[in-house]
Amino acid sequence: MEFLKAYGPLLVLMAWFGYKWWRAHRVVGQLPGLKQQGAVLVDVRSAAEFAQGSAPGTLNIPLQELGARMGEIPAGVPVVVGCASGTRSGMAGMMLRKQGFTQVYNIGSWRNFLK
């Protein structure tokens, strides 16, 4: 019991990051098929971050602009979102689903678009 008291929060944090990694890599495996279905790849990092490095074919819509720019994302096709770590893209995914997008995938880091 002492072990869980001492290391429980760390174990939960490790489990959370492991889950995020697993989900992102699952989407990486699905990416070729999603692209064949006409997927839109959306990078929700800031314009400055995007200018420092981005994956070819990605659309940059910073998270704070997403609500106003959702019209730029076609409906009825898969939407794959990415950012620096997967956190902002997770929030973007929730926003997109709330607006009726049904095929939303969080690839985590934008670098995963390159795989």
Active-site residue set: 83
In degrees to the nearest 10, what's the CA dihedral of 95, 12, 14, 23? Answer: -40
Nearest Cα neighbor of 52 from 93, 111, 115, 107 is 111
DSSP 8-state secondary structure symbol assigned to residue 38: T
Place of tokens 């997109």: 96
Report which residue type is found at 17. Answer: F
The tokens describing 38, both together, are 């006409």
